[in-house]
Amino acid sequence: MDESKYENALQIILHAGNAKSSALMAIDAAADGEFDEAERLLAESQAEMGEAHKMQFALTQAEANGDSVDINIILIHAEDHLTMAIMAADIAERMIDLYREVKAK
């Protein structure tokens, strides 16, 4: 994997990790009844995920253009981080809604 592709994989790890952390903090904020903060953190999570997707897209685009991307442990790790961040954000959205319902009752 050339240096720029390696850097892209590391950027996926960075942004996906930030996205996951923000999503989990959003759940904590909702549990405390701080719904504005939960929404802010969820938006932050989505923004970080957008950055991770940009890096992933660059690798996908390189592959589609015939510039093969070597599969290595760093890239696998990056994709794993992104998948977990997506799941954390999806769960956070649902948990925030549930906490809102509980608080309303």
**What's the number of domains the chain is made of?**
1
Structure tokens at 87: 């799941």
Residues with a catalytic annotation lie at 77
Q: Which residue has the tokens 């953190």?
A: 41
Residues contributing to the annotated binding site for Mg(2+)? 80
Q: Give the model confidence (pLDDT) of 15-67 as tens digits.
A: 999 999 999 999 999 999 999 999 999 999 999 999 999 999 999 998 999 98
Residue 73 to residue 100: CA distance in whole angstroms: 40
- Is the whole-model pTM more than 0.85? yes
Residues contributing to the annotated binding site? 80
CATH classification at residue 19 = 1.20.58.80
Residue 71 to residue 58: CA distance in whole angstroms: 15
Range of the domain at 28: 3-104
Residue 48 to residue 43: CA distance in whole angstroms: 9
